[in-house]
Amino acid sequence: MPARILLVRHGQTEWSRSGRHTGRTDIPLTEEGRRTALLLGERLAGGPWQGLPDAEVRTSPLRRASETAALAGFGARAKEWDALLEWDYGDYEGLTPAQLQERQPGFHIWRDGVPGGEPLAGLAARTDEVVDWARSADRDVLVFAHGHVLRTLGARWLGQDPAFAASLRLDPASLSVLGWAYGAPAIERWNDTGHLG
């Protein structure tokens, strides 16, 4: 069977709790974020995952992702990879969607982009690199990263335009699995938070 890619969005931070765009600002998990990372680890340690003993593990170097990986039990196996960094929101770093609507009524990040930040095409190119790596693996891979980069990765896995990611919601500490159906890329599981009770 071809390799799958398991995606984990990091646990809650103060900024994710309040809806602030958190790109390259390196902030830690909240207590709730740490609690849910531990619950995720318990889930991956049990069936059907059994700790994913053969999986190759990568993480964004930002601490909210690497801390989630460590608390879930994968810190010693995880290699940091800049391709998994969150979208650089430039001038919109730290702003909420409501604040962006005040500045620019009708604003839609997947259509309008981010001034002073990373073009959507640049984000897509980074996620294409991750997709190529995952598809070339001879075993499952597990990545710990951020909401918008993982949503874009999901879109690119499916061969969709990066803006398709607008339709792929991801909650903190969620688990998603990208795999195959009838020989074509498919979503096996998306935004699964069953382990959070």
Q: Which residues are catalytic?
A: 10, 86
Give the Cα separation of 57 and 130 in Å (integer): 12
Containing 133, the helix (H) or strand (E) segment is: helix 120-136
What does the alpha-carbon distance between residue 101 and residue 98 come to, in Å, rounded to a whole number?
5
Task: Region of 181 please: left (phi>0), alpha (psi -120 to 50) or beta.
Answer: beta
Kind of pairing, strands 5-9 and 175-181? antiparallel
